[in-house]
Structure 1
Amino acid sequence: MTKDSGKDLPVDSLLYERRERVFLVLAGIFLSSMTLLNVIGITRFVQLGPMSLAIGVLPYPITFLCTDLVCELYGKRRANFLVTLGLGLNVFIIACLYLAQAVPAVSPETMPPWQMLNLAQPVGMPNGDTVSGSVELFDFIYSLTSGAMFASMMAYVAAQYCDVQLFHFWKKLTHGKHLWLRNNFSTLISQGVDSFMVISVTFGAVWLAGGISTQQMLVLMGSNYLFKMCCALADTGPFYYFTFKLKRYLQL
């Protein structure tokens, strides 16, 4: 018998509880980072050195560290379950946005003053629409984010499942050795898939309409991937540290 949180638990029960708690923490960080990407998305672009980035990209590389840790500690099945859960959450978010858009707004007499925007000039949106004049704030946000969320969901599905498959491919190929190889190679390739898809789907309509140049598209793709590549290489140290510590803590 051993003690945990003041209660006597068998060793097997304690290990089970520890493993489920750690998985819950990793899943929570993964889902929070993914949701934050969809919430803030392309609402603002920032300049980090030579990179022009949507702020939604900033927390996203953490998701790949989480899936790699789940792959290493819990196996392929748990990792795929986590990615599928994230896909379901993406669908839920898009459904909530669609429902909110479909429900009629309150009358102008009872409408809060911040609910309407008065645009001085027409604004081109990522989905190819143009909004101008007096527009409801939610309609503006919906036009801005709905296309980007659909793009991020498509990129998410391709990149995350790709990451899990490649991680286990490299693990099997190296017979469980060389953590750095499966961590970096799986993430670098899947991040490239994600960067290409999310930019091409989000801004594809604007690019075809001539609202954004090919050079700007390439800069966005390159900046997106460069940032994720730097994060992927930088998380090698944390991946080694957490893998070593958690394997001892979870007695794996």
Structure 2
Amino acid sequence: MSNRAIEAHSAAEMTGRHFRYYDFVMAAFVAVLLLSNVIGAAKPAVIEIGGEPWVFGAGILFFPLGYVIGDVLTEVYGYARARRVIWAGFAGLIFMAFMSWVVVSLPPAEGWEGQAAYESVFGQVPRIVFASIVAFWAGEFVNSYVMARMKIWTQGRHLWSRTIGSTFVGQGVDSLIFYPLAFWGVWENEAVIMVMITNWGLKVLWEVVLTPVTYAVVGWLKRKEGVDLFDEGTNFTPFKTQV
């Protein structure tokens, strides 16, 4: 399909319209979200910068991708469709938490010696996912709200200001909620605070670094979908799933 001319519309005018790539972006968002909680969030890692150790959560490898996709969703498809994706991710996290508990609780077969390691890796998943659900819900909605509002304030210009500004606020909320809920009393308190602050800064820095990627993806999707949506008159309540 050839690129369409990009036409500006209010998001309300596009209610009920089918977008060709929306479902794929939703699937990518949910996949990154689940992977970040299964294999990233529970491990503190360390690197040396200038001879000094810097501790960070391994989830930093995933969360920037999630926030970039979240920014793309709001910028291209509007707050209401981004809200629907956030709720899809919320449901996925709850299902993952439940199934993790079921699988860990199942009695191991005789002769299988991996139960201890399995419990070590996945035993904390319910607590981590609970913290992630709360932090994800609050942080992602704040991110999307700020993104949508700033698009109106800037009249669709200066995309970089919206992506960085929304990530600064949204990731601040996410980190402030997630790390104390997930790891207070598990890690040393100083480590929790250090990881929380470091990851917040690194996530914002990642957003800055990935700005050219965001520009490329947003531009490509807008050309393919043929619209540029503005959330004028949008109901910004998070407690809906309908577009």
Superposition TM-score, scaled by structure 1 size = 0.75
Q: Is the contact between residue 42 and residue 128 of structure 2 (CA under 8 Å) also seen in structure 1?
A: no
SS in 2 for 1:47: strand
1:148-185, CA deviations, whole angstroms, 9 ceiling, x for partnerless residues? 22211211111111111111111122222221221111
- 1:76-155 superposed matches below 5 A: 76-106=79-109, 110-115=110-115, 136-155=116-135
SS in 1 for 2:123: helix
Q: Distance in 2 between matches of 1:95 and 1:44?
A: 21
Distance 1:192 1:43, change over 3 A: closer
* Paired residue type of 1:78: R
Q: Distance in 1 between matches of 2:40 and 2:133?
A: 12
Matched residue, 2:78? 75
- State the shift of 1:43 in Å: 4.5
Matched residue, 2:142? 162
How many residue pairs were aligned? 209
Q: Which of 156, 159, 170 is 1:176 aligned to?
A: 156
Q: Is the contact between residue 67 and residue 167 of structure 2 (CA under 8 Å) also seen in structure 1?
A: yes
Instruction: Show structure 2 runs of 5+ residues with no match.
Output: 3-16, 228-243
SS in 2 for 1:175: coil
Matched residue, 2:181? 201
Q: Which of 236, 240, 252 is 2:211 aligned to?
A: 236
* Paired residue type of 2:113: P
Q: Distance in 2 between matches of 1:201 and 1:247?
A: 38
Q: Is the contact between residue 41 and residue 149 of structure 1 (CA under 8 Å) also seen in structure 2?
A: no
Q: Which of 157, 174, 196 is 1:221 aligned to?
A: 196
- State the shift of 1:42 in Å: 4.1
1:65-114, CA deviations, whole angstroms, 9 ceiling, x for partnerless residues? 111111111111110000110000000001111222443333xxx23133
Q: Distance in 1 between matches of 2:178 and 2:97?
A: 16
Q: Distance in 2 between matches of 1:87 and 1:212?
A: 29
Higher relative contact order (CA 8 A, sep 6+): 2
Percentage identity across paired residues of the two chains: 23
1:188 and 2:164 matched: no
SS in 2 for 1:177: coil
Matched residue, 1:65? 68
Q: Is the contact between residue 46 and residue 54 of structure 1 (CA under 8 Å) also seen in structure 2?
A: yes
Q: Which of 41, 44, 54 is 1:51 aligned to?
A: 54
Distance 1:146 1:111, change over 3 A: farther
- 1:29-48 superposed matches below 5 A: 29-48=28-47
SS in 1 for 2:107: coil
| Cα RMSD for the two superposed structures | 2.2
Q: Distance in 2 between matches of 1:239 and 1:139?
A: 38
Matched residue, 2:220? 245
Q: Distance in 2 between matches of 1:51 and 1:24?
A: 38
Matched residue, 1:10? none
Q: Distance in 2 between matches of 1:141 and 1:244?
A: 40
Superposition TM-score, scaled by structure 2 size = 0.77
SS in 2 for 1:104: coil
